[in-house]
Amino acid sequence: MWSWSFTWSILPQILEAMKTTILATIVGFAFALVGGLVLALGRRAKNRAISLGTAGIVEFVRSTPLLVQLYFLFYGFPAIGISLSPFSAGVLGLGIHYSAYLSEVYRSGIDAVPRGQWEASKALNFSKGTMWRRIILPQAIRPVIPVLGNYLIVMFKETPVLSAITLVEMLLTAKMIGAESFRYLEAFTLVGILFLILSYGSSLLIRRLELKWSRS
């Protein structure tokens, strides 16, 4: 059943598509890093309307499927006059979805900064901006870097969903190869193995980094 020569012949095509998968992951993650921080800060806003609104957005985005959010962006937005390419809709969808998750990560980091740090910044007459930038955030973010790293891997594994809005990444490439040759077995297995290698490899890397940092 399994043909090795066919497997080797489609490997370059799938590796080529992996570039799109990885690019979408990186751009989406950059978006989520910024968006998550904005949501985390919004949730702490003194204005109750802003903080409750942000909490509502986070809860809503986390409770609804990425796939439907992508359909909403990709098929729904053109109906109100905003057309997005598959890549930008995909990256935007991933970014928004994971912003909601990352905001909780940031929040736990910010909550873990000792009270004394806030009081000391106030005593030293730092402005709010300086306090956040120089005192709170550096201490809040460092301990949560491994968690952020794990979300990067989770997001990477979520990118095949972007194939549903016609982004030609690894899975859609495999599906098209399968449709042409009716050899789904090799194509999908290959994609699975590539995902396994990359995500398992990077999770081992994160575990090692975590150990290294906790020692120093």
Would you count residue 77 as binding another protein (CB under 8 A)?
A: yes
Place of tokens 């972007």: 162
Range in contact with another protein (rule: CB under 8 A) among 28-36, 38-46, 75-83, 84-92: 75-83
Tell me, by CB under 8 A, how many residues bind another protein: 44
For residues 117 and 45, give the distance between their C-alpha atoms in angstroms, rounded to a whole number. 19
Q: Which of 44, 164, 45, 29 is nearest to 97 (CA)?
A: 29
CB of 46 to another protein, least distance (A): 26
CB atoms within 10 A of CB 33: 18
Nearest distance, CB of residue 196 and another protein, angstroms: 4
Q: Name residues contacting another protein, limited to 47-66 (CB under 8 A).
A: 59-60, 62-66
Residue 139 touching another protein (CB under 8 A): no
Q: Is 71 in the site for another protein (CB under 8 A)?
A: yes
Q: Is 76 in the site for another protein (CB under 8 A)?
A: yes
Q: Concatenated DSSP letters for 174-212?
A: HHHHHHHHS-HHHHHHHHHHHHHHHHHHHHHHHHHHHHH
29 near another protein, rule: CB under 8 A:
no
User: CA 56, 153, 140 angle in degrees (round to 5)?
Assistant: 60
Letter for the amino acid at 54? Answer: T
8 A C-beta contact, residue 194 and residue 170: yes
146 scored as a contact of another protein (CB under 8 A): no
In the list 9, 19, 45, 75, the residue contacting another protein (rule: CB under 8 A) is 75
Per CB under 8 A, 103 contacts another protein: no
Report helix angle 86-111 to 48-63, nearest 10. Answer: 120
Write down the least CB distance from residue 68 to another protein, Å: 5
CA–CA separation, 46 and 38 (whole Å): 14
Kindly list the residues in this chain that would bind another protein in the complex (CB under 8 A). Answer: 1, 59-60, 62-69, 71-72, 75-80, 157-161, 163-164, 171, 174-175, 178, 183-185, 187-189, 191-193, 195-196, 199-200, 203
